[in-house]
């Protein structure tokens, strides 16, 4: 890679990836090939549309699905705010992989220690936010009988693992992976390694293939944990965690990552419909400077947030309709105003239905948080 600047991935900040092939090459991420994707019992929209672009050791999970043996799917969400499109993506991936076999078990860590280390959110406040996040996940289709839910700050086996791991990691290693950071974030990275390997501890049935679906920017955590799994293999029998990687999507204004710093760019799942509508109608598009130009040259759907981020990544399931939409734009048959109004009909009705489902999930979410499992 002479002459090319190496990628620096920041799991706590804004990472921007233009060239996914180069990213995969630099960090040794395998592409998700059509052959491997075809072996999944069904292909989720995120797989069909290549939003999940790469993996590490996914083959191990596919074999467990094919062989009907146990595997775990692990995710952690930092309860720093309401669910938005970014968290929806990771959650859908988690729910999808958990649904692919009756032998799959989900592990959901509420990363309250990380929320404190990174955003200074008190643990009690995390609980309230986590409850809302869990209601969203249940409304998105999470089966409460197949998931183990816990808060990092209360999960003693995870904290114990983090402490054990701290013996094998030097400050220099953490600095090389994450750059210079406050020690709290380094410690929360070790806690996350504990989260990822938690499903393989004896009280959860011992070593088993474990999949962690993440955004590309979370790869530093995966690399650290795979390294720790190898170092502690003799003691715990850990298998290296597998991972799938999804693309980092832009926010509604076309900025590189959804962040609370740009409120017009972030779409919350629980957002009042009128404010969501205003955001969608103001989203960044691939439209031309004038209507005449757009009719003549067509729009640029590949550059358009409405097309790429909203319809393709999130709200339009039907591949055929999506393709027709693409060509309506590309050939100038539709202009952005009408297109956004059409998109809003789909998005608004999705949000309305999600919010109705979500409102009914409070009791189950509370019970899950208290009892950890309903299975």
Name the one range near ligand SF4 by CB under 6 A: 35-43, 60-68, 102-110, 297-305. 297-305
- What are the tokens at 188? 């929360």
Per CB under 6 A, the list member of 106, 144, 265, 299 interacting with ligand SF4 is 299
Name the one range near ligand SF4 by CB under 6 A: 123-131, 255-263, 333-341, 361-369. 333-341
Min dist. Cβ of residue 2 to ligand SF4 (A): 38
Under the binding rule (CB under 6 A), the answer on residue 304 touching ligand SF4 is: yes
In the bound state with ligand SF4, the residue whose beta carbon lies nearer, of 126 and 312, is 312
Could you tell me the strand order of the sheet in which 210-215 lies?
30-31, 52-56, 242-246, 210-215, 71-77, 104-110, 147-151
Name the one range near ligand SF4 by CB under 6 A: 95-103, 137-145, 181-189, 302-310. 302-310
Under the binding rule (CB under 6 A), the answer on residue 314 touching ligand SF4 is: no
Min dist. Cβ of residue 265 to ligand SF4 (A): 16
The per-residue b/e assignment along 296-308, b for 16 or more CB within 10 angstroms, e otherwise, is eebbebeebbbbb
**DSSP secondary structure, 323-368, as one string:** HHHHHHHHTTSS-HHHHHHHHHHHHHHHHHHHHHHHHTTHHHHHHH
In the bound state with ligand SF4, the residue whose beta carbon lies nearer, of 200 and 285, is 285
Residue in the structure block whose two tokens are 């043996």: 69
User: What part of residues 206-245 is at the interface with ligand SF4 (CB under 6 A)?
Assistant: none
Per CB under 6 A, the list member of 329, 347, 351, 368 interacting with ligand SF4 is 329
In residues, how long is the chain? 375
Name the one range near ligand SF4 by CB under 6 A: 167-175, 181-189, 250-258, 299-307. 299-307
Under the binding rule (CB under 6 A), the answer on residue 9 touching ligand SF4 is: no
Q: Say which DSSP state 203 is in.
A: G
In the bound state with ligand SF4, the residue whose beta carbon lies nearer, of 138 and 343, is 343
Q: Say which DSSP state 314 is in.
A: I
CA 133, chain centre distance (Å): 13
Segments of the chain assigned E as strands: 30-31, 52-56, 71-77, 104-110, 147-151, 210-215, 242-246
Under the binding rule (CB under 6 A), the answer on residue 336 touching ligand SF4 is: yes
In the bound state with ligand SF4, the residue whose beta carbon lies nearer, of 197 and 305, is 305
Alpha-carbon distance of 271 to 281, in angstroms, equals 15
Under the binding rule (CB under 6 A), the answer on residue 307 touching ligand SF4 is: yes
Partners of 168 in beta bridges: none
Name the one range near ligand SF4 by CB under 6 A: 21-29, 142-150, 167-175, 283-291. 283-291
Q: Which residues bind ligand SF4 (CB under 6 A)?
A: 285-287, 299, 301, 304, 306-307, 329, 334, 336, 339-340
């Amino acid at each position: 890679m002479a002459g090319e600047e190496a990628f620096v991935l920041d799991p706590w900040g804004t990472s921007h990836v233009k060239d996914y092939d180069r990213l995969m090459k630099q960090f040794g991420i395998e592409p998700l090939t059509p052959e491997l994707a075809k072996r999944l019992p069904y292909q989720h929209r995120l797989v069909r549309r290549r939003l999940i672009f790469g993996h590490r050791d996914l083959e191990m999970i596919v074999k467990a699905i094919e062989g009907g043996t146990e595997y775990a799917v692990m995710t952690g969400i930092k309860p720093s705010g309401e669910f938005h499109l970014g968290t929806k993506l990771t959650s859908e991936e988690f729910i999808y992989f958990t649904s692919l076999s009756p032998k799959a078990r989900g592990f959901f860590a509420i990363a309250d220690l990380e929320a404190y280390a990174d955003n200074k959110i008190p643990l009690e406040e995390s609980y309230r936010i986590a409850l809302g996040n869990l209601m969203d996940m249940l409304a998105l289709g999470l089966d409460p009988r197949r998931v183990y839910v816990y808060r990092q700050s209360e999960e003693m086996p995870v904290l114990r693992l983090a402490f054990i791991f701290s013996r094998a990691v030097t400050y220099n290693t953490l600095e090389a992976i994450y750059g210079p950071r406050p020690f709290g974030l380094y410690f929360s990275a070790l806690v996350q390694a504990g989260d990822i390997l938690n499903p393989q501890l004896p009280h959860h049935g011992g070593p088993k293939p474990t999949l962690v679906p993440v955004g590309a920017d979370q790869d530093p955590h995966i690399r650290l944990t795979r390294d720790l799994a190898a170092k502690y293999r003799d003691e715990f029998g850990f298998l290296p965690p597998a991972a799938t990687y999804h693309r980092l999507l832009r926010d509604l204004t076309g900025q590189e990552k959804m962040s609370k710093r740009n409120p017009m760019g972030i779409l919350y799942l629980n957002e009042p419909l009128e404010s969501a509508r205003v955001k969608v109608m103001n989203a960044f598009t691939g439209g031309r400077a004038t209507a005449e130009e757009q009719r003549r040259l067509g729009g640029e759907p590949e550059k358009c947030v409405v097309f790429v981020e909203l319809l393709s990544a999130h709200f339009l399931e039907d591949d055929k309709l999506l393709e027709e939409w693409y060509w309506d734009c590309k050939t100038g048959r539709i202009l952005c105003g009408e297109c956004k109004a059409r998109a809003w009909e789909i998005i608004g009705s999705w949000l309305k239905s999600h919010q109705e489902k979500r409102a009914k999930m409070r009791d189950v979410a509370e019970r899950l948080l208290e009892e950890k499992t309903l299975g």
